Structure 1
């Protein structure tokens, strides 16, 4: 039986995600930007929260954590490297750890850059990944604590470990602005142009742009394509190393 997924808008542009297994009753929350919208979704669905996964310590991903834990008794798991900055963790995870949550196996993938201990989570049996603020639809997170080289390494790793068919949920609704930037960097990419049109229509109608897929990101996300000679040429960096192309893109996005 496939999982039931509820994408929950929180704060100004954050998302929390509930993943529910009807057979076992397991209900997993990924990130807890605020309590009220998540609690309302649980009541509406009639689900009992059993587990919470945290990707990183930033306040807009953990503000609702303690209230939801206190209300539900859910088991909270998150990055070991950020345990001193995340109240309420019951179990810490490191790169390569594998944990069983109900019927699902969850692989922890360390992706430093946005924060030093950021974890992404892959549920291979159901083809889902949660990439927090590392990989966005048509974008990537700002580099606050790590280095640009580390962030490129994290994105390059996700390209390696996540199959193209993987369904991806990230932490924010940034896709429209990301699409505008992507098109400005890669105007000859017809797949990107078509996707940008679809994204604009979805936002105009008030619909979320998530989830995305790894296949779509590989074809259209300039930050994942920093190793593509065609993109390097498009941004005036023909022959440059992928890490240098990525750094160029990230700095231009930061300044946009």
Structure 2
């Protein structure tokens, strides 16, 4: 992609930026926003991490630059809609308000250029459904090899202490299963909410797991995050939706799902 090129799309959906934390990746987000303009931008929760800021103030200039970049887009004519999440839940006290041109709403139904109605919400309200599994863990091949290595060392140490055998790798695999169950339960709860609203698509964030898939006839879209995944969703002018991973400045390393037109809602 040309370093100076800016792609104009109809709508951008971004969530889980977590400004105010050291894990946030503001430079990549700023570069993404530099190369993408939109008529409408949805900020789908956990944009500012109020929880972390309460524990200790961390707000470098780059985080302020993200806020200023969004405000500049408002001044240039973009409509910006902010759907608060759990980490910026303080903004839920201001639902219906407008700050600097940014509209605060509890949730929204977005209609694409193709006529698809998409329920837009952060998703944290479904934690009540899955509170018994409040965490996510992702173990790839490297993590699994590490688990095996740790299991061997822990087992030797336990034998020396006269303790019974305990497998760290088996424990970690159990944790992965719980994580998979968490994601599945979350998706089912979100899809059920879409069904209650009478829409055939739902877009959320919250669990930092970018996705675009069909579940029980409902298009489930998760924007991911700007801590690990660095992903966003774009709606093109013909209504196609694209899930984008922005992994390095001015370069799209991979689209997680090719742009496509979703089926028109019944």
* TM-score, length basis structure 1: 0.34
User: Greater relative contact order (Cα 8 A, min sep 6): structure 1 or 2?
Assistant: 2
* TM-score, length basis structure 2: 0.33
Structure 1 or 2, whichever has the larger Rg, is: 2
